[in-house]
Amino acid sequence: MIFHGNLMTAALALTLVPGLASAHFQLSYTEETMIDRPGDVPVKLIFWHPFENGHVMDMGEPLEFYAIHRGEKIDLKDTLTQTSFTGRGNEAVAWDGSVPVKRSGDYVLVTVPAPYYEQSEDIYIQQITKAYLNRNTLPTDWTEPQGLKTEIVPMVKPYNVLAGSTFTGRVMSNGEPVAGAEIEIEYMAAEPDMATGSPKEATARPMPGGAVVAISDANGYFTFGVPKAGYWGFAALGVGPDTEHDGKELSQDAVIWIRAYDVE
């Protein structure tokens, strides 16, 4: 059981789901989350299966790409240029951008991608994604929801989680908690190489038995024990208010990326 203030929340259901394919994940990737010096930090936007270096999906031009710093929105769409990313089996459209990191504090990166048509399931997928940077260890924004249609609000500082500890998030849709949400969990085993647009060597293999899944409790909370340093992604599936696009079903998902470190 976990506690939030005086509220006791139900223990999450965490399982391996047999037969569930490894998840689509929208990446908003930077090489580091803790930034020492001011400057433009490169960002790669990729729609991919990063655990097993799997299939890469063509990513349309994002509808929105911005950062929140000290409560203020910094529009980053003008920094985007179309590029490609080559995974193990194919090459697909991706995007390069950057975020100007100047003052100390948090920079919450928000990507609202165009819906992606998944032909094999005859549905659209839209993964509204958050990632986090920080300069000079001054926390300013990470605890706050960003007012997105759907999002996962972190209850643990997301850019320097301790490997071996836990991460807790709260699934929200239109500002309200989502009970019983299915959250797929993905390790970025093969991180993107920013220079070559291809993956680096994988540092782990996918779990046997299918995707790792947690279920949010009655108040929208879930907790996951983080076993390894690196980037971890959490995708709450179909929790957004929009359910249709171009006359077909839309899965509007909330995605958050966190960075875990070993204690040295």
Domain that holds residue 46: 12-261
Q: What is the 3-state secondary structure (H, E, C) of the chain?
A: CEEECCEEECCCEEEEECCCCCCCEEEEECCCCEECCCEEEEEEEEEECCCCCCCCECCCCCCEEEEEECCEEEECHHHCEEEEEECCCCEEEEEEEEEEECCCEEEEEEEECCCEEECCCCEEEEEEEEEEEEECCCCCCCCCCCCCCEEEEECCCCCCEECCCEEEEEEEECCEECCCCEEEEEECCCCEECCCCEECCCCCCCCCCCEEEEECCCCCEEEEECCCCEEEEEEECCCCCCCEECCEEEEEEEEEEEEEECCC
pLDDT digits (tens, 9 = 90+) for 185-207: 999 999 999 999 999 988 888 87
**pLDDT over 70 (residue 6):** no
> Does residue 86 lie within any of the structural domains?
yes
**pLDDT over 80 (residue 14):** no
> Does residue 5 lie within any of the structural domains?
no
> Does residue 123 lie within any of the structural domains?
yes
pTM for this model (two decimals): 0.91
Question: How many domains does the chain fold into?
Answer: 1
> Does residue 16 lie within any of the structural domains?
yes
Residues facing 34 on adjacent strands:
134
> Does residue 88 lie within any of the structural domains?
yes
> Does residue 3 lie within any of the structural domains?
no
> Does residue 252 lie within any of the structural domains?
yes
Please report, for the domain that includes residue 44, its CATH number: 2.60.40.1930
245: confidence class by pLDDT, cuts 50, 70, 90: very high
pLDDT digits (tens, 9 = 90+) for 97-147: 999 999 999 999 999 999 999 999 999 999 999 999 999 999 999 999 999
> Does residue 6 lie within any of the structural domains?
no
pLDDT at residue 1, as a whole number: 31
